[in-house]
Amino acid sequence: MNKPGSHTPLWEDCLTLIRKEVSASEYDLWFKDISEVSHVGNDLKLMVPTPLFAEHIEANYLDIIGPILHRVYGPDVQLHYLFNVVSKEPDTQVDVASTPRSKAVTTPAVANPFAPRPVGSVDPQLNPRFTFENYCVSSSNKNALIIAESLANDPQVKTFNPLFIFGDTGVGKTHLIQAIGIRLKERFPDMRVVYLTSRTFQSQFTTAHMRGETNQFFNFYQSIDTLIVDDIQDLNDKPKTQNMFYNIFNYLHLNNKQIVLSSDRAPADMKGFEARMLGRFKWGISVRLERPDLQLRRHILSQKAASEGIELPDDVMTYIANNVTDSIRDIEGVMTSIVARATFCNIPVSLELARNVVGNAIRTTRRSTEFDDVLREVCSYYNVEQSLVFTSSRKREISDARQMVMYLAKQLAKMSFKAIGQRLGRSHATVLYGCRQIEERIPYEKQLQEASDTITKTLLS
């Protein structure tokens, strides 16, 4: 029997894995205060603060922690929740067993290339929540979604091979690449699809090497029809693993098998990889997922509120959308915290509650600048209609306004040249030229410098 509040090595391993699967705010709210009480035979007993924790984890996180518990404690582990009906009174403690999981949907935490399995059978390791149907879309991710769906709907087309999706942490890469796998399995049940992280690939290869089973490892991945690898950047500075992945990549590509990769940076920005590997990453198409724009953030909040069964007031949605701007994961974490606080304290969802959660649950910065903000303020300063910026007019005030939008969208909204061009209906080269024109003119044109400074100050205030 362990002292309540203590963390045993096995439970500590579980917490480490859980922390990688959920947002920081979700982890702090729902998992940090859970401790192992005992592990006897197959029975694992965890102390949770209140009955609500057990209910919420069962409803929302069991598909995450279930495979992790199986991986750490063994496939036959049975989870029990312990809690005091009356707070801080151990005499009121009760033991509630976790709901048994169907063998048809329960899967091990890691696809095992060494385990014997029937011909044609392979565990895809896909999260059933990550579908195209619940993937929120806006102009910041629309192109990536179109390409991903076209690939999943017609796997015979190998125009996008490999498909390389990159972007900052928490912008929806994992959801999108798993949605490809799920759609493929829905339409082609016999297709051999596997999703895994590069760290899992590294771990499996290391195990195979130690066992002298690299041939079995290679043969397993040769048999895959669609290989989906998340966080490929984590194979940097691992030459032996890279060499194995290089050979698997070559074999699959040569045999018209699909490869889907994700990374937190573009192939051109990746370090610690051999040139031949980076060259292959560029064989197909690379698509960037931008930070969620205002439209996408509001869509995510609406969807999350609907799934939680709550009504989110417009002022609360606006506040969260304007202040939690970096990642989808942060937005979902904040919503989870708001729902939990409202439930715990039996209070309505309000702007005051949102401010408290946003201020404490995550690290926030000033509101980010969006393309639409830049367009509005630039056109207001130059006193031109916004629609004129999208025309081909060469009038000086319209041309200056258009190039100023390009310049400030790059500087303040941190958009790529391609993304800016898509919003303005211009090519990458045109946007690059427009930004350079402003940069070169500002040191010599006082009025242009004043315009840039005034608009920037307004946007950042």
322 to 168, 312, 325: CA distances (angstroms): 19, 15, 7
Residues 3-8: contacts with CB within 8 Å, 24+ apart? 4/35, 4/37, 4/47, 5/35, 5/47, 6/35, 6/36, 7/35, 7/36, 8/36, 8/39
Q: What is the distance between the alpha carbons of residues 1 and 438, in angstroms, rounded to a whole number?
A: 69
130 to 4, 122, 175, 181: CA distances (angstroms): 35, 19, 5, 9
Here the tokens at position 224 are: 């895959």
Q: What is the distance between the alpha carbons of residues 321 and 95, in angstroms, rounded to a whole number?
A: 40
Instruction: Name the one residue in this structure whose structure tokens are 């800016």.
Output: 420
Contact 263, 233 (CB under 8 A): yes
Amino acid in the structure at residue 78: Q
Q: Comparing C-alpha atoms, which of 199, 208, 203, 371 is closest to residue 290? A: 371
Burial of residue 11 (CB within 10 Å: 0-12, 13-18, 19+) is buried
Q: What is the distance between the alpha carbons of residues 193 and 198, in angstroms, rounded to a whole number?
A: 16
Q: Are strands 35-40 and 43-47 parallel, antiparallel or unpaired?
A: antiparallel
3-state secondary structure of 9: helix
Q: Comparing C-alpha atoms, which of 348, 320, 346, 344 is closest to residue 334? A: 320
Here the tokens at position 365 are: 């910065």
Domains along the chain with CATH numbers: 9-97 (3.30.300.180), 141-288 (3.40.50.300), 294-366 (1.10.8.60), 371-460 (1.10.1750.10)
Q: What is the distance between the alpha carbons of residues 5 and 70, in angstroms, rounded to a whole number?
A: 22
Which helix or strand (DSSP H or E) is residue 150 part of?
helix 142-153
Here the tokens at position 6 are: 């203590």
pLDDT at 109 (0 to 100): 44
85: Cα separation from own chain's centroid: 37
- What would the pLDDT profile of 65-92 be if each residue is shown by its tens digit? 888 998 888 888 888 888 775 556 666 5
Q: What is the distance between the alpha carbons of residues 153 and 30, in angstroms, rounded to a whole number?
A: 37
The gap between the terminal CA atoms of the chain, to the nearest Å, is 56
Spell out, as residue ranges, where the chain has pLDDT lower than 70: 1-7, 85-93, 99-121, 308-309, 360-369, 461
Q: What is the distance between the alpha carbons of residues 333 and 26, in angstroms, rounded to a whole number?
A: 5
Q: What is the distance between the alpha carbons of residues 225 and 119, in angstroms, rounded to a whole number?
A: 14
Q: Comparing C-alpha atoms, which of 400, 423, 199, 166 is closest to residue 270? A: 166
Q: Are strands 93-97 and 78-84 parallel, antiparallel or unpaired?
A: antiparallel
Q: What is the distance between the alpha carbons of residues 367 and 386, in angstroms, rounded to a whole number?
A: 23
- Helix, strand, coil distribution of the chain in percent, nearest 5: 55, 10, 35
Instruction: Name the one residue in this structure whose structure tokens are 């048999």.
Output: 223
Residues 370-374: contacts with CB within 8 Å, 24+ apart? 370/293, 370/294, 370/413, 371/293, 371/409, 371/413, 371/415, 371/420, 371/423, 372/294, 373/413, 373/459, 374/405, 374/408, 374/409, 374/412, 374/413, 374/455, 374/459
> What are the beta bridge partners of residue 256?
none
Here the tokens at position 197 are: 């992280």
